[in-house]
Amino acid sequence: MSLLVKEKNHALQVDLHNHRTTVISKTVQSLGADKAPDILRSLLGLCPIAQVCAFEAAREAATGQTIKNLSNRNKLITAEAVLETIRVLSMDLQPFTIHGKVSPESLRTIGELRGRLWELSKSPTQDNVALENFLADLKALVILWFAREKIAINAIKHTFERFDDMPMSGQALLFPEEIHKKEILKLFVNILQDYPDWAVSPQWAGARIPGALARIRSVQNQGRRNDFRVRDLVLARLEELKNYASGLLPAFTIESYSLEQGWGAGVVETARGTLMHFLRFESGQMQYHIVAPTEWAFQEESPMVEVMNRYANKRIGAVKSIVTGINLIACAFDPCTRVTVQWPQKEV
């Protein structure tokens, strides 16, 4: 993704250029279902467990099977989402915080647990004892992280306060229950058959925002559609970590859906939001689409780009502040997506 800052009539305009393509789904489609898990695991550095599980769920639905090993799959998906959340807060956001860095001890434990999870996920048959031991260690890390990293956590919260006077409409939030419906998934797959590139710029009643805040708000009785701020996106990730540490039912799940015309859908709630895989077999050939959660926010008409423009025009003349702010906003929406900021008239 690249963001281009233009100077126009004493104002600034931030344009987003999405360079992502459907090449991964096309590659998987061409090589076939049997090779798909290995391809997805190797090519997709973001949430590889969720990607493979979504594919398998879609394949099982398309071939009339029920999800295999559902309990263990949910545990692996949850572990990946929790580790990804704590990694983002501990590493990806740290360059932007002035005071308070996460301790080397926490960083080492995060790295160690990521390696263990990777090994666990590669096994076709789960070692239940090893998995339960891993989950116990992960929960211990999250509890210890909140106790040990209070200064770093407060620094993260403070860093995003600069955007508090720029609210976004709660109508933009995309709640999980809006997607987890057969009729909606049928609509999406019909669109994808006619317009495959919808996968890299999906819209439904506009550009929407899935993820932690949408999940947190979706279970509230009041204020679901209230305005939200950039900081709320980060606070929601912290809240999901606290919920996990408290033993509440995880929000990270996998579901499969058998749709019309032989299509199957695998839908997974990841740290970044709702991931969808669509698959069917026709005349021995596989048709396949991936709609990643990142794509909802990283498009020209999204609330993310809108708030970037508001912030840039509020800080006209402060080049460094604008570039840092744009990067921070992108991180809040999805810190796993690499963004470059270009400003032809300035050195950035």
pLDDT at 250: 81
Q: Is 43 a residue whose pLDDT tops 70?
A: no
222, with CB counted inside 10 A (0-12, 13-18, 19+), is exposed
Q: Looking at per-residue confidence, does 304 or 300 come out higher?
A: 304
Does residue 220 surpass a pLDDT of 70? yes
Residue 315 has pLDDT above 70, yes or no: yes
Find the range with the poorest average confidence among 46-55, 72-81, 281-290, 334-343.
334-343
pLDDT tens readout for residues 221-233: 788 999 999 999 9
Mean of the per-residue pLDDT values of the chain: 90
Mean pLDDT of 48-56: 93
What is the average per-residue pLDDT within 54-66? Answer: 93
For residue 12, pLDDT over 70 is answered with yes
Residue 8 inside a domain? The answer is no
| Residue 310 predicted with pLDDT over 80 | yes
Q: Is residue 213 part of a domain?
A: yes
pLDDT score of 50 more than 90: yes
**Gap between the Cα atoms of 166 and 237, Å rounded:** 20
Q: Can you give the pLDDT at residue 44? A: 54
The answer, yes or no, to whether residue 348 has pLDDT greater than 70, is: no
**57-62 mean pLDDT:** 95
Which tens digits make up the pLDDT trace of 192-209?
999 999 999 999 998 999
Among the ranges given (37-46, 73-82, 262-271, 282-291), the one the predictor scored with the smallest mean pLDDT:
37-46
Question: Does residue 230 form part of some domain?
Answer: yes
Whether 292 is covered by a domain: the verdict is yes
Q: In Å, what is the CA distance from 40 to each residue of 126, 177, 249, 269?
A: 19, 26, 28, 17
Residue 344 lies in a domain: no
CATH number of the domain residue 177 falls in: 1.10.645.10
> How would DSSP label each residue in 120-150?
HHH-SS--HHHHHHHHHHHHHHHHHHHHH-H
Residues 6+ apart with CB under 8 A from 235: 157
Question: What is residue 24's predicted lDDT score, i.e. its pLDDT?
Answer: 82
Tell whether 263 is covered by a domain. Answer: yes
Residue 2 lies in a domain: no
In a domain, 188, yes or no: yes
Range of the domain at 183: 21-297
User: Phi, psi at residue 17, to the nearest 5°?
Assistant: -120, 115
pLDDT at residue 99, rounded to an integer: 75
**Angle at CA 151, nearest 5°, toward 150 and 154?**
85
Our count of domains for the chain comes to: 1
pLDDT at 58: 96
d(CA 265, CA 243): 28
| Residue-wise pLDDT tens digits, 222-270 | 889 999 999 999 999 999 999 999 988 888 999 999 999 999 999 999 9
CA distance 141 to 99: 22
* pLDDT higher than threshold 70 for residue 154: yes
Lowest mean pLDDT among 113-122, 240-249, 272-281, 336-345: 336-345
Which range has the worst mean pLDDT, 21-25, 250-254, 302-306? 21-25
pLDDT class for 46, splitting at 50, 70, 90? low
Cβ atoms 267, 179 nearer than 8 A: yes
Query: Residue 168: helix, strand or coil by DSSP?
Result: strand
Residue carrying the six token digits 């493979």: 52
Q: Tell me the C-alpha to C-alpha distance, in Å, between residue 269 and each of 177, 178, 179, 240, 342.
A: 11, 13, 11, 12, 33
